[in-house]
Structures are given as structure tokens and as C-alpha cells.
Structure 1
Amino acid sequence: MTDILDIAREQVLERGEGLDEAQILEVLHLPDERVDDALALAHEVRMRWCGPDVEVEGIVSLKTGGCPEDCHFCSQSGRFETPVRAARLDIPSLVEAARQTAQTGATEFCIVAAVRGPDDRLMAQVRDGIEAIRAAVDINIACSLGILTEAQADELQEMGVHRYNHNLEAARSHFPEVVTTHTWEERRETIELVRERGMEVCCGCIIGMGETLEQRAELAAQLADVQPDEVPMNFLDPRPGTPFADLPAVEAQDALRAIAAFRLAMPRTILRFAGGRELTLGDLGARQGVLGGINAVIVGNYLTTLGRDPQDDLDLLAELSMPVKELSKTL
């Protein structure tokens, strides 16, 4: 029987064709002593099909908490008793967050809101915020505002939003165990609205929400089918008060296997380190991930959890001789 990494070397590295679902599952089943081999191949794939540049992004929450949805991993849901309280950010604070993000060398700044989808008030705030940021900071602006209507997608395109984030979060077969107040299909429909309007598609996931390895492979294949420009890889950081509060953190070797498998499934995609990597991987794992297929990072804090010091990430990239991607002049 041909070894899956030999198959991947010829199929993914040489031809640029991602692994299919069954092949992804084989990578996820690799024993611990093969993980370094998988990461090394994933790094070769990343360097060949994406190049050495690493994209740096910062995120900020315009509206935190009080969300009506019941995403079981999220402490911003108004349905759970969590420490997070509803709050809104004013425009000057938003601009200052964008300025601080740009000072780290980041090229992307994402405005996030904890909502099912934006109402008129939120859309007006986003418009005002984008105008204020553009007047003060030279940075690409992304948004993550939940499920969109066609009219809202049109508005965001008209505002000049560079990239829109809407994660699949989990495999289609596992999604009802994660969220009950909206469907996997609704998420996919928003992704298509974004793509149709020419905005870049950012569509990621959370690893470690009780899924099987088969469902993890299913998720990677479904993300590959979306053909996103960027895939943020989050690892569950169990939040107090949520239904997933007692789930165990993802084991480091399992996280690294997932990073390699997702890179081999999507050779040309921006694969971004996102939430939970500090808990799951620590400093050593961050190095292994960047040398194992990751080519983008979120710097600073996440929405409700603390991240690494941005300088730590920038120092690591410099040590590994990986240049930070320069700002694209496509606004």
C-alpha cells in the first residue's frame, strides 16, 4: 500500500492538487512519529504554492456579547451565563485599534460583531468606522458580521470591504451538535454571496468541538470545496458557562496533524493561526505550525480570549526568515 505522504508529495506538492476527504483522514490517522514528516511536507507545499510571506492580521469587536445565537463554543451568546457582557466600541476606539494593528506590520484589520446578522444600526456603524479608519490608517479592512442578505453584501462591497469572514465552524454532519439556531447551509449561502460580489472569502473552523476524526476530515474537504482565500484555524478554548466548557483542549500532536492535513487539502489557501493556539500548542507549537503549513497569524488578543504578545509572533517570523506580507494596494 502506498504511503499517504508519498501520495501527497506527488499529488499536492508536485501537481498542486489537494487531498480528498479519504486521503485527509489518512493524514489525521498518522502515528505521532510521522507528524514531523507530515509537517515538513506541508511546509514544502506552503512554500511552493503560497511562497514565504506571512500575512499578519488584527481583529477587534465592534459589538461584543448579547448574541441571540446558541453557538455552543461561544461566550458571547446571550443564551449562556458567561462572564462576557454586552458592549459596543465607539468609532475613535475602533480607529485607534486599527492604528495599533497597523503598527505591528499587519496588513489586515477585521471588524467583528457578535450578531446573527447586521441590522441597519450596525451597518451604519460599520460604514462610519470604515470611513474613519480609511482617513487615518493605511490597512485592508475585513468584516465578520454574521449571516448576510443580498442587500447587505452589496453594501459591504460598496464600502470597499476587502475580505469577509464567515466560518463553517464544523463539518456539516456535526454542525447540529454545535449550533441549533441557524444552519450550516445558511453559513454556506453567505459565503457564496460574498464571493459573488468579488470580496475575498475568509472561511474557517474550530477544531476540538467533539467531532470525530472522520468529521474533521469532512470539514477540511468541505472547506476546500468552498475554495476560500483564507482559512482561520481555531482550536477550542473551552469558555466558562458555555455548553462546551468541559470539553478537553485539543492535544498538541492532534492539532499539528490537523494543520498538516488542512494544508495538504488546500495547498494554495492562506492558512491562519487563530484562537486557541496558545492553549493547545504553546510557543514550541507555534514554531512547528509556522514550519508546518501555516502562513498567516492573528496578532494580539482574540475576541474574548488573550493571545500572544504581537512582538513574540513578529520575532518568531524574523527568526525563521519569513517576511511579513506587505500591504496590497487594492483598496
Structure 2
Amino acid sequence: MTILDIARDKALEQGIGLDQTELEQVLQVPDEQLEELADIAHRTRLKWCGPDVSVEGIISIKTGGCPEDCHFCSQSGLFESPVRAARLNIAELVEAAQKTAKTGATEFCIVAAVKSPDDSLLDQVGQAIVAINEAVDIEISCSLGTLTREQAQRLKDMGAQRYNHNLETARSFFPQVVTTHTWEERKETLDHVRAVGMEVCSGGIIGMGESLEQRAEFAYQLAQIEPCEVPMNFLDPRPGTPFANYPLVPMGEGLRAVAAFRLAMPRTTLRFAGGRELTLGNDGTEKGLLGGINAIIAGNYLTTLGQQIEKDVDMLGRIDLPIKAL
């Protein structure tokens, strides 16, 4: 059997994710088979997730000045990047959530550039969740760094429905990306999130110098933690960071990665996040949405400009994919 036959049988027909060796083969499918691969991934997502596309907006409650050295991130206080520390108030967060909901988005994520939240930040996030829930009907998730079990429970009690903490890359490659904490620390936070009953959201970035084998390893390791949602970012090399001069991921390589992640996790929400505009452009974004993706972050990202939400909504209408409703 070819890898396309295996993908069709396991992922599409049975809803079973491919193993690491099979995912390596997916990532090496030749150009002439890429369209067929994307079709299998798209039909897998339609069968096991349905046609709806989830739209999410994100906002940073605390930007810049992070003590960690994630080599891709311009929010690290250890690099000479142009990002400067800033913090939003409750009214600004509510306004952002309202604007997000008006576009048809059903999810809103509150993010902070910290290693882990202190009591003051958790208090502010709790106040923001209450205020947002009073003002608008939208699901709220958070991404505030590593958590203890107690902090995870506190966020759950505050009303956070989902928690994002990206594994970022394969376990074997992680030390080449971050040195101030470990892959295992990130995994422990996800264990805490699951234990208290919040939904687990975890993904990472494609194109940080990892091999195709490590890319397959990453997709397989994500599948093992069974996340509710996986954000897929493509490296957007930021000035002042160690990865500032890295090349962009070619479109074909990006689309193979999308298919591989879908075939690793047939039933998971797979969300386009940062860097898709650079790696894929409009044409590639549409191909991704017809090649395994079933969710997007719309609008701007944390420190980079994305596409206007209205343009993403128009695109979904053009390719006849409905926006998920609450």
C-alpha cells in the first residue's frame, strides 16, 4: 500500500491517526500527489469534524518583557527586538471581545507574555472574564504560560473554557528552540489543564529548523496528548530574535504539514495561526482550508499583523465553508 492508501484507510475511513513513520512519508509526498493528499486530509476533516470553521480572535493582556528565551519570539526581554512591554485594562479587553464577536467569531483568547501568571495577573484575568461574559456571548480561553494544578483550577473556576500552552516543536528539537525551560514543563501544564476539566489547546510552529522527521515526531507527540485544538503557526522571522534570518516555509511544504497534522489527528480542531499569510498567502490559505484545516485565528496576532477578519469571513463564503456558531 502507498502512503496515500494508508491515509485513506486509517485516517479517512477509520478516524485513526497515522503513526510517526507514516507521517514522515506524508511529509515527503511528491508534488504531483500533493493535490490528492490534500483531498484525503480535507475529506478526513469533513467526516470526523464536520464542515464548520471555527473563528477565533486573540488579544494580549500583557505584551513583551517575558523572561524566557523562546528563539522565535519578539516578546522575550532577552532579545533586542522592537516589541516593548505593555498591559491592557479590563475595558480594552471587553472592547476587543465585542469587536471579535461582531465578526461572527465564537472564541476569544486572552494571552500574556509571562513564564507563569502571578496572583495579580490571575485576578485581572478573572475580572476580565466576568466583564466579557456580561458584555458579549463568546467562549473565552487563556494562554498565560506554565500553570500549577491550583492555578489551573482557579482559571477553570473563573470561567475559562480552554487553555492554550503550545509544545512548540518536537521533544527532540525543543532544546534548539528554548533553553530557559523544558518540553516536559510544558507537558506538565497540559496535564494540569486536563485534570481540572478545561479543554487542552496545544500546537506550535513549523519552520524553525527542524527536520521532516522531527516535524513528524511533533505531530505524533501532539496526537498522544489528545488536544481539543491544535494551533498551526509557520515561522514569521522576527527582527532581533535568534531566528530573525531563517527562511520562510515554502507553500508546498506548508500544505504537506497541514495534511500531516490532520492525518495524525483526524478528530481534532486544527487552527491556522501566525505566519500563514507569509507562508501560504491567500491561495495557500484557501488550499489549507480545503486540505485539513477547520479553524482560523482571524485578525492580528500578538505582535504581527494578520489578515482583516472581514477578508477571512469573505474567503470562507467564497469556498463555501460555514462559520461555526455558538
Bucket of the pairwise TM-score, normalised by the shorter protein: over 0.9
Give the partner amino acid of 1:88.
R
The 5 A counterparts of 1:72-87 are 72-87=71-86
The 5 A counterparts of 1:114-125 are 114-125=113-124
What is the alpha-carbon distance in structure 2 between the residues aligned to residue 92 and residue 102 of structure 1? 15
Q: 1:322 deviation in Å?
A: 1.1
What is the alpha-carbon distance in structure 1 between the residues aligned to residue 264 and residue 123 of structure 2? 38
Give the partner amino acid of 1:79.
L
Give the partner amino acid of 2:313.
L
Q: Deviations over 1:222-245 (max 9, x none)?
A: 000010000000000000000000
Q: 1:12 deviation in Å?
A: 1.0
What is the alpha-carbon distance in structure 2 between the residues aligned to residue 165 and residue 12 of structure 1? 25
What is the alpha-carbon distance in structure 2 between the residues aligned to residue 262 and residue 130 of structure 1? 31
| Aligned match of 2:67 | 68
What is the alpha-carbon distance in structure 2 between the residues aligned to residue 217 and residue 3 of structure 1? 17
The 5 A counterparts of 1:215-254 are 215-254=214-253
What is the alpha-carbon distance in structure 2 between the residues aligned to residue 75 and residue 166 of structure 1? 17
| Aligned match of 1:112 | 111
Q: 1:160 deviation in Å?
A: 1.2
| Aligned match of 1:181 | 180
Indicate whether 1:14 and 2:19 are aligned.
no
Q: 1:112 deviation in Å?
A: 0.0
| Aligned match of 1:126 | 125
Q: Deviations over 1:166-224 (max 9, x none)?
A: 00001000000000000000000000110111111110110000000000000000000
| Aligned match of 1:164 | 163
Structure 2 gap ranges (5+): none
Q: TM-score, normalised by structure 2?
A: 0.99
| Aligned match of 2:312 | 313
Give the partner amino acid of 1:276.
G
| Aligned match of 2:192 | 193
Q: Deviations over 1:91-139 (max 9, x none)?
A: 1100000000001111100000000000011011101111111111110
Which of 318-327 and 105-114 deviates more? Answer: 318-327
SS in structure 2 at match of 1:112: strand
Q: TM-score, normalised by structure 1?
A: 0.98
SS in structure 2 at match of 1:85: coil
| Aligned match of 2:42 | 43
Give the partner amino acid of 1:66.
G
What is the alpha-carbon distance in structure 2 between the residues aligned to residue 8 and residue 294 of structure 1? 16
Q: 1:150 deviation in Å?
A: 1.3
What is the alpha-carbon distance in structure 1 between the residues aligned to residue 155 and residue 119 of structure 2? 12
Q: Deviations over 1:34-75 (max 9, x none)?
A: 111111110000000000011000000000000000000000
| Aligned match of 1:137 | 136
Indicate whether 1:214 and 2:209 are aligned.
no
What is the alpha-carbon distance in structure 2 between the residues aligned to residue 160 and residue 136 of structure 1? 14
SS in structure 2 at match of 1:305: coil
SS in structure 1 at match of 2:280: helix
Q: 1:81 deviation in Å?
A: 0.3
| Aligned match of 1:296 | 295
What is the alpha-carbon distance in structure 2 between the residues aligned to residue 127 and residue 84 of structure 1? 26
Q: Deviations over 1:240-295 (max 9, x none)?
A: 00000011010110000000011011000000000000000000001100000100
What is the alpha-carbon distance in structure 2 between the residues aligned to residue 239 and residue 81 of structure 1? 11
State, as a whole percentage, how many aligned pairs show the same letter. Answer: 66
| Aligned match of 2:91 | 92
What is the alpha-carbon distance in structure 1 between the residues aligned to residue 115 and residue 154 of structure 2? 17
What is the alpha-carbon distance in structure 2 between the residues aligned to residue 7 and residue 94 of structure 1? 46
Number of residue pairs aligned between Structure 1 and Structure 2: 326
What is the alpha-carbon distance in structure 1 between the residues aligned to residue 16 and residue 150 of structure 2? 35
Give the partner amino acid of 2:244.
A
What is the alpha-carbon distance in structure 2 between the residues aligned to residue 11 and residue 299 of structure 1? 32
Q: 1:140 deviation in Å?
A: 0.5
What is the alpha-carbon distance in structure 2 between the residues aligned to residue 158 and residue 320 of structure 1? 39
Q: 1:33 deviation in Å?
A: 1.5
Alignment RMSD (CA, Å): 0.6
What is the alpha-carbon distance in structure 2 between the residues aligned to residue 79 and residue 148 of structure 1? 22
